[in-house]
Amino acid sequence: MANIRALPLALCLALCLGLVAIQVAGPASAQVSTRCLTKGFDESEFDAFHSALQGLLSEDAVGASRTWHSRSGKSGRVHLVSGGTKAGSTEGRVRITRYNGKREVDIFTFNYRNVPKKGWQSCG
């Protein structure tokens, strides 16, 4: 039987490694890999929370959050845990959640780096 405590860590590690692979591999393979990495998320959800976190990291202070809504009807929030432009940093940590009914459920937390001319990119 799998160790329950090790499962979230293993999932997070797999997601982080996969996102690095997406950045290295480029857009052609990103569509397939994104769906695999964000199992349970469709492309519209990924686009929605990615758009919200760009604004969060660029414009908001630590502790702020923004709501995202996908074309598929799902929603959640992105929370700025640390860093971001207002904190004078080119790095930030964001927690991404999704609503399950009225309950907000943590999905994952990622670190981002502001890459010149590309915006905020996941870095693990």
- Strand order in 65-69's β-sheet? 65-69, 75-83, 91-100, 103-115, 119-122
pLDDT of 49 reads 87
pLDDT of 82 reads 97
Kindly give the confidence (pLDDT) of every residue in the chain, 124 residues in length, as a single tens digit, with 9 standing for 90 and above: 444 444 454 454 445 444 444 444 344 333 333 344 555 677 888 889 888 999 999 999 999 999 999 998 999 999 999 999 999 999 999 999 999 888 999 888 889 999 999 889 888 6
The DSSP result for 54-95, as a single string, is HHHHHH--TT-EEEEE-TTS-EEEEEEEEE-GGGT-SEEEEE
CA distance 50 to 31: 14
pLDDT of 26 reads 40
pTM above 0.85, yes or no: no
pLDDT of 54 reads 93
pLDDT of 40 reads 67
